[in-house]
Homo-oligomer: A and B are copies of this chain.
Amino acid sequence: MTNTLLILSKDAKVYQQLLSGRLPPDIHVLATDNIESVMEMQQQITLALAEPALIAPALTKLPHLKWLQSTFAGVDALQDDSLPRDYLLTGVKDIFGPLISEYVMGHWIALLRQFNLYHTQQRQQIWQAHPYTSLQNKTMVITGTGSIGRHLAKTASCFGVKVLGVNTLAKQWSEFDQCYTLEQLDTVLAQGDIVVNALPATTKTQQLFNLDRFKQMPSHAIFINIGRGSAVNEVDLNQALEQNLIAHAACDVFTIEPLPVESPLWQNPHMTITPHHAAVSFPNQIAEIFLGNLSLFLSSKPLKYSVDLVKGY
């Protein structure tokens, strides 16, 4: 059986090069950053390696798609009720953990150690030390215990941090000191020196972090969002920071991206904004995941990193 593989990504050419010579000869490849350019071939496309947001608008026009390998961890663009779900979806679950861990630990240390303040002092040739505390024995709360949350938990533990996890059914993962249900969230938040949202975008997590949640956190708490923007009510977050309900927030994801210039968060001195860049897909890693799954797919074996389109993870 002949397969046609659609590579749909701004890095399409990079992927084409990475896969060159490593695909079975009977696979026909269409590589593009624009779905429109290949729509005359739509009937032939059976496989896809694609960015969710780029392929979502075309999904209804790909009747023979059997398997889609996402290049991103977040697949909520594919979850719209109007979209077909009659294909296998696989994600990239294991490669973002290390990158997210670097982001979270780096920002946490930079905040506790006031890197910005020392940078300013340096430009003024000021040699002045300020008190700080260690990460040791602090408590990190992570909402979401998927592969990203678990990797972060393991990394934080290396610094002597106590790590509490929150997931749907309080499933206990060994990377955490303790896991709790989403219903116990408020009690857990009160213990967090730092709260990290690593939940996928689902109906349950929509605007989960609102004023009521921020009120539960200690006033010295740091909130970090590396999950999805939709999990946070940004008006409430800005208010929580202005009223010192929490000490600082660092967000890599927002409800609308790029974050609109009108957002007061840009100028909030207790806010760190990064442009959805905490974890990026390095194409060589994605290509390896794709090739591994392709081999499984062609021999009709279960694929790795499969995503449940209803749950969204």
Residue A292 CB within 8 A of the other chain: no
Q: Judging by beta carbons under 8 Å apart, are A159 and B98 in contact?
A: yes
A interface, how many residues as a size bin? 35 or more
Which of A55-63, A102-110, A182-190 is the contact stretch? A102-110
Which of A38-46, A64-72, A127-135, A204-212 is the contact stretch? A127-135
Complex interface: chain B residues within 8 A of A113 (CB): 102-103, 106
Complex interface: chain B residues within 8 A of A107 (CB): 115
Contact partner of A99 (CB less than 8 A), chosen from B125, B134, B257, B272, is B134
From known contacts A98-B160, A129-B277, infer whether A110 and B103 are also in contact, taking CB-CB under 8 Å: no
Across the two chains, which residue of chain B brings its CB closest to A127?
A: B258
Q: Judging by beta carbons under 8 Å apart, are A259 and B136 in contact?
A: no
CA–CA, A257 and B135, complex, Å = 27
Q: Judging by beta carbons under 8 Å apart, are A109 and B105 in contact?
A: yes
Closest CB-CB distance, A87 to chain B, in whole Å?
Answer: 30
Q: Judging by beta carbons under 8 Å apart, are A273 and B122 in contact?
A: yes
Complex interface: chain B residues within 8 A of A159 (CB): 98, 101-102, 155
Residue A266 CB within 8 A of the other chain: yes
Closest CB-CB distance, A114 to chain B, in whole Å?
Answer: 10
Q: Judging by beta carbons under 8 Å apart, are A102 and B109 in contact?
A: yes
CA–CA, A261 and B267, complex, Å = 32
Residue A93 CB within 8 A of the other chain: no
Residue A213 CB within 8 A of the other chain: no
Residue positions of A touching B, CB distance < 8 A: 98-99, 101-103, 105-107, 109-110, 112-113, 115-116, 118-119, 121-123, 125, 127-130, 132, 134-136, 154-155, 158-160, 257-259, 261, 266-267, 271-277, 280, 282
